[in-house]
Copies of this chain bind each other. A is one copy, B any other.
Amino acid sequence: MPDTPAIHGIDNSPRGRLLSAAAHLFRDKGFDRTTVRDIAAAVGIQSGSIFHHFKSKEDILFAVMEEVIRFNTERLRQAVADGETPLEQLRNLVRAELTATVGDTREAMVVMVAEWRCLSEPKQKEALALREIYEQIWLDVLGRLHRAGAFHADPFIMRRLLTGMIGWTPNWFSTNRRLSVEDLADLIVDRVVGEA
C-alpha cells in the first residue's frame, strides 16, 4: 500500500511500480541489504508475487538500470540537438546529466553506479553495451570541442573527470539550496573550457 514516488521514464504498471520501489530501496539500503520482502511490502503485495513479474531479484536490478540508461540516453540526444554550438551542446549535456543524477531519475542513477557489481557478468556486459552508446554522445561533443581548441587535455580523460564530478553530486547537492542545477552546470563547464 505505501507509495514510492515514481521515477521519470518508468510507467505505472504493476511492473513499473515494482521498479520504482526497488530503485528507491536499492539506493537507500543497497541491493544486497534489500530483500524481496522489502520490495513486495513497498507496493503492498506478497514477496512471492514478485516472481510473477521478474524471474529473479537480479533481474529487477537489471531492469532498473536498463530503463534509466535508455531514458537518459534519449535525454542526452535531445540535449545535443538543442545546442547550436559545441559549447552550448556541452552545457546542455552537463545540465542533462545533472538533472538525471540529482533530479527525476536520481535513485536509479545512483543505483546504477553503486550496485554495478551486483550484476552477474553476462548482465554486466549487456548493460555495458547500453552504457557505451550513452558515453559516445559525450565523447562526440568533447571531441568536437577539443578539435576546436576549447581545451587541451585528452577528451577521454576529460570525460572521466566530468563523470566523477557529476557522479559525486548526489552525495552533497541539495535542490532546495541556493545553488541551482544551471549554476552548478556552468561551474562544471568552466572546469573544462576555463572561466570567462
Contacts and interface: CB of A to CB of B under 8 A. Distances in A.
A145 to B, nearest CB: 14
Contact of A194 (B164, B166, B168, B195): B195
Copies in the complex: 2
B157 A164 contact: no
Q: Which of A153, A165, A169, A171 has the most CB of B within 10 A?
A: A165
B179 A168 contact: no
Interface bracket on A? 20 to 34
Nearest to A191: B191
A72 B190 CA distance: 30
Contacts of A114: 114
Interface of A: 29-30, 32-33, 114, 117-118, 152-153, 157, 160-161, 163-169, 171-172, 179, 184, 187-188, 190-191, 194-195
Given A33-B118, A114-B114, 16 more contacts: A29-B117, A32-B33, A152-B195, A153-B187, A157-B179, A157-B187, A160-B168, A161-B165, A164-B164, A164-B165, A164-B167, A164-B168, A164-B169, A165-B165, A168-B168, A194-B194
